[in-house]
Structure 1
Amino acid sequence: MNTTDQERGPKFRRRAEARPDEVLDAALELFIEKGFASTRVEDIAKRAGLSKGTVYLYFPSKEALLEGLVRRAILPIADSALTTLHDYEGDPRVVLSMVLTMLAGRFGDPKVMAMPKLIFREAMGFPGLAEMYRREVLDRVLPAVEGLLRRGIEQGYLRQVDPSLTIRSIIGPLMLHVAMAEIFGITPEGGLHMEKLVENHLTILFDGLSAPPSAKQWSAS
């Protein structure tokens, strides 16, 4: 005789609600330890303390697990950035500073920081991951940043730069910083120091991006 979740009580329901995150936590640990290709679903189930069938109940494939990890870690950051960027009027350097500082703070969470590493490792071998990341993150965030830059140029805060190319200058150093550590094993002494990197990056970026002294001024410091 089957027993409903309600009949089993709130403790059972809380456990059932937590299972997707438990599965994702186990998958993240194993993907980092062994790599995506070498990790089996049964390994994930064992690490999570669940049956293989229970894992498939929540995630129909190993690829779905990888996508689930990206959605859990990265989409909230993208949504937060979009909330800040959307229809902002004024000096865009204020918002860029806020968003990059927020991003550095989120990367202080090991579960979040693990995601860029996984994306660098697996995107080439798993085109579906790259397509999903582009669709749900890049295709939403990049137009918002480009619009912010265009308004900043029109209002005299920024130099006459190409907004599309400038986005690469804004994001590029953060991606290269992670890539140098993950792909080449080149890490600053004491760790990645994302907050320090962002602070240093903003100083260099704004000195080059800001409009001439005759225009409105703002400092990253």
Structure 2
Amino acid sequence: MSGAHDAPPARRGAGRPTREQAEARHEELIDAALDLFLEHGFELATVEMIAARVNMTKRTVYARYPDKASLFRAAVRRATERQIVPKDVLERMDDGDLPGTLEQVARLRIGQVMTVNGLRLQRIINTESYRFPEIFVENYTLSAGPVVEFVAGVLDRAIVAGALAPTDTDQAARAFMTLVVGGQVRAIVAGRPPTAEQLEERVRFTVRLLLDGLRPR
């Protein structure tokens, strides 16, 4: 039986956020920073704008990131991570049809740049790499590099099967990215995206051109 002098039950205050809540807020911050940096560029996007977008104080932002540059790098890394093609997705494209496999890879990579954030990421890398050269390196390492490695492996197997002449497959895979993918990406970034029919024709043509140069003589 409770007495008159028993202490009342403790009230639960707001307290500190849980780890999950803190991480969710951090995700919101990074996403907002990414949106604003991609929309306005590094110079015009401000920490004030980003903080306001997620209803945070500047002090809260600066507690995680000491300056705008470090927040920018984290946001671009997040955009780059979203462009990573899982290994199993690439492996499913390797169905034994060499031209078909390369065409599928090309369509996938070009299609990524044709999305709103893919295009913004490509443009911000193009415009800000002089200031942040590490974002170009990181984009290649995390996103393009695994695709180059996969294509080189596909070419290695074609050489073993006798379909291609022995060659430096790493260089050939880089040529694939430049010739087949890069040409279309440059047009897209410049505001001249190909139609679906043009894209299909160009991908097939450049894949055939590359493979014709690699076949045994």
Whether TM-score is above 0.5 comes out as yes
Aligned equivalent of 1:68:
74
Deviation at 1:89, TM superposition (A): 7.1
Q: For residues 136 and 105 of structure 1, do their structure 2 counterparts lie closer, same or farther at Cα, with a shift above 3 Å needed? A: closer
**Equivalent of 2:126 in 110, 113, 120:** 120
TM-score by length of 1: 0.68
Would you say 1:95 and 2:101 are equivalent positions? yes
The aligned residue for residue 208 of structure 2 is: 207
Match of 2:191 in 1: 187
Partners of 2:76 and 2:121 within 8 A in 1: yes
Cα distance per residue 1:24-70 (max 9 Å; x no partner): 34323432443213433223212333211332345444333333334
Q: Note the C-alpha offset of 1:103.
A: 2.8
**Counterpart pick for 1:111 among 110, 117, 122:** 117
- Using structure 2 for the length normalisation, give the TM-score: 0.69
Q: Letter of the aligned partner of 2:182 in structure 1?
A: M
1:204 Cα deviation after fit: 0.8
Corresponding position: 1:83 with 2:88: yes
Unaligned 5+ residue runs, structure 2? 1-12
Distance 1:179 1:208 in 2: 19
Is the contact between residue 107 and residue 203 of structure 2 (CA under 8 Å) also seen in structure 1?
Answer: no
1:72-113 residue CA offsets vs partner (Å, 9 max, x unmatched) = 333343242x33445957333333233222334434431232
Paired with 2:95 and 2:176, the residues of 1 have a C-alpha distance of 19
1:118-148 per-residue CA deviation (whole Å, 9 max, x = no partner) reads 1111112112223323433344442332222
Which among 141, 147, 151 is matched to residue 153 of structure 2? 147
Residue matched to 2:10: none
Partners of 1:75 and 1:136 within 8 A in 2: yes
Percent identity between the two aligned chains: 26
CA contact (8 A) 2:159 2:165 kept: yes
- The answer to whether the 8 A contact 2:83-2:118 is kept is no
Residues 111-120 or 54-63, more deviating: 54-63
User: Are 1:3 and 2:15 an aligned pair?
Assistant: yes
Answer whether contact 1:89 1:151 (CA < 8 A) is retained. no
CA distance in 2, matches of 1:150, 1:97: 17
Deviation at 1:176, TM superposition (A): 4.2
Q: Which residue of 1 aligns with 2:182?
A: 175
**Gap regions ≥5 residues in structure 1:** 7-12, 216-221
For 2:191, the aligned partner's letter is T
Q: Contact 1:26–1:48 at 8 Å: present in 2 too?
A: yes
Q: CA deviation at 1:115?
A: 0.8
The structure with the largest alpha-carbon Rg is 2
The residue type equivalent to 1:63 in the other structure is: A
Moved more, 145-154 or 21-30: 21-30
Matched, 1:40 2:52: no
Return the alpha-carbon distance in structure 2 between the equivalents of residues 74 and 187 of structure 1: 21
**Structure 1 contact 78–137 (Cα < 8 Å) conserved:** yes
RMSD: 3.6
Residue 5 of structure 1 aligns to a residue in which SS?
Answer: coil
1:148-176 Cα deviation digits (max 9, x unpaired)? 22222322344555423333332225434
